Amino acid sequence: MEDKEFGCRVALVTGAAGGIGSAVVRALAERGTTVAAVDKDPRRLTGLVEELAEDGLKAVAFPADVTDSVLVEEIVDRTENELGAVDLLVNAAGVIRSGSMLGMSDVDWRAVFSVNLDGVFHCSRAVAARMRERRAGTIVTISSNAARIPRMQMGAYGASKAAATLYTKSLGLELAEHGIRCNVVSPGSTETDMLRSLWSAENDRQVTIDGSPAAYRTGIPLRRIAEPQDIADAVLFLASDRARHITMQDLCVDGGAILGV
């Protein structure tokens, strides 16, 4: 059902074919927002758009790799020319490479940072420059609770997300005088392909909930793994007028996993 607030907006969502990204796209489309869905996987992206169409919802597929700054500029231009001025950017594209800090290869390190940090920079820069001219707009970056606390085998991922978090807050400071808000949502363990890719044993789901003292990792106090919709709801709040006086904030949605750090 169309929402009066969201129904007149245009949103650009990166990582749109992923677990969290697709939930954000659907949540916005259900409220009547015109969504430019960006992802480097054209097959999954087309599948998402077709699935939404079957439900009477509309999103337009824009296959693109956010690590390519030239292509990002082209996609933002196309979005604004074909759909209208972008009111909301959601940086949801992300990748993970696990491994020890001493064993991490240059290739894996760069792969993580090129998407999780460079991609956020490329998309935010392209969209924010246009928002600044209009003196309106909202940016939400999907980070991670791993940006707030050291985790075994996740140093590259956590570092990239920490950098993306601070970049988004710094951008929010620079854009505040132009009426543009920039916030962060930091999920914990969420039911996505990315999380499942880290599991190798039958009991890994329960270990995620219970925690692992050997890895210096607490469990999840709320005793559940988040659904992508939980993260999408946080994005919707920060993108809404109910959050009109909130900027440069990091909303952690992790069931208490990092104990409020």
Three-class SS of residue 30?
Answer: helix
- Residue 3 domain-assigned (yes or no): no
Could you tell me the pLDDT band of residue 1, with boundaries at 50, 70 and 90?
A: low
**Which H helix or E strand runs over 222?**
none
Q: Which residue out of 6, 62, 113, 157 is catalytically annotated? A: 157
- Domain containing 173 equals 10-192+227-250
What average pLDDT score do residues 2-26 get?
Answer: 94
Q: CA-to-CA distance for 159 and 198, rounded, in angstroms? A: 18
**Which H helix or E strand runs over 81?**
helix 69-82
Q: Give me the residues paired with residue 180 across strands.
A: 137
- Residue 207 domain-assigned (yes or no): no
What is the pTM assigned to this prediction? 0.96
- Residue 127 domain-assigned (yes or no): yes
Across the beta sheet with 59-63, the strand order is: 59-63, 34-39, 10-14, 88-91, 137-142, 180-187, 250-253
216 catalytically annotated: no
Domain CATH number, residue 68: 3.40.50.720
Q: Residues of the chain with pLDDT > 70: what percent?
A: 99
- Residue 222 domain-assigned (yes or no): no
Give per-residue pLDDT as tens, 76-132: 999 999 999 999 999 999 999 999 999 999 999 999 999 999 999 999 999 999 999
The structural domain count of the chain equals 1
**Which H helix or E strand runs over 60?**
strand 59-63
At residue 171, does pLDDT exceed 90?
yes
- Residue 208 domain-assigned (yes or no): no
Could you tell me the pLDDT band of residue 193, with boundaries at 50, 70 and 90?
A: confident
- Residue 218 domain-assigned (yes or no): no
Q: CA-to-CA distance for 115 and 176, rounded, in angstroms? A: 25
